[in-house]
Amino acid sequence: QVQLQESGPGLVKPSQTLSLTCTVSGDSISSGGYYWSWFRQHPGKGLEWIGYIYYSGNTYYNPSLKSRVAISVDSSKNQFSLKLSSVTAADTAVYYCARDPTGGGNYFDYWGQGTLVTVSS
């Protein structure tokens, strides 16, 4: 059974960098064939795609966040990570990681439980 688990600080100060890690179990990131993605959901709102990464390190980002986002992969730890710089209160949200089983940046079959990140001084 594939499982994903987000981890990282729940509170980030404005202008700082939000850093989250997604640990994958039950599957190997380096096996290839999948895209590994980050999403967020503002309180009471819909979902927003942030970006995804292939095991090779190829990344694709949402243009609305591209200037502030970096996603990286550490295959040795079976983890991938999100960094979002220059955060403001508008970045307060629940952040999810997920797996795209198609390798084409399509839909997502396994999701982490999500982690709430609050941006506040």
Partner 1 sequence: EIVLTQSPGTLSLSPGERATLSCRANQSFSSSYLAWYQQKAGQAPRLLIYGASSRATGIPDRFSGSGPGPDFTLTISRLEPEDFAVYHCQQYGSAPLTFGQGTRLEIK
Confirm if 84 and 69 have CB atoms less than 8 A apart: yes
In the complex, the smallest distance separating the C-beta of residue 57 from partner 1, rounded to whole angstroms, is 19
Residues 83 and 72: their CA atoms lie apart, in Å, by 9
- Sole window of 15-23, 76-84, 85-93, 112-120 interacting with partner 1 (rule: CB under 8 A): 112-120
- Sole window of 15-23, 39-47, 70-78, 84-92 interacting with partner 1 (rule: CB under 8 A): 39-47
5 is an interface residue for partner 1 by CB under 8 A? no
Task: Give the closest residue to 75 by CA, choosing from 55, 47, 51, 49.
Answer: 55
Confirm if 99 and 2 have CB atoms less than 8 A apart: yes
Specify the residue, 7 or 62, whose C-beta has the smaller distance to partner 1: 62
Write phi, then psi, for 76 (nearest 5 degrees): -65, -30
**Binding stretches for partner 1 (CB under 8 A):** 45-49, 60, 62-64, 96, 98, 104-109, 111-114
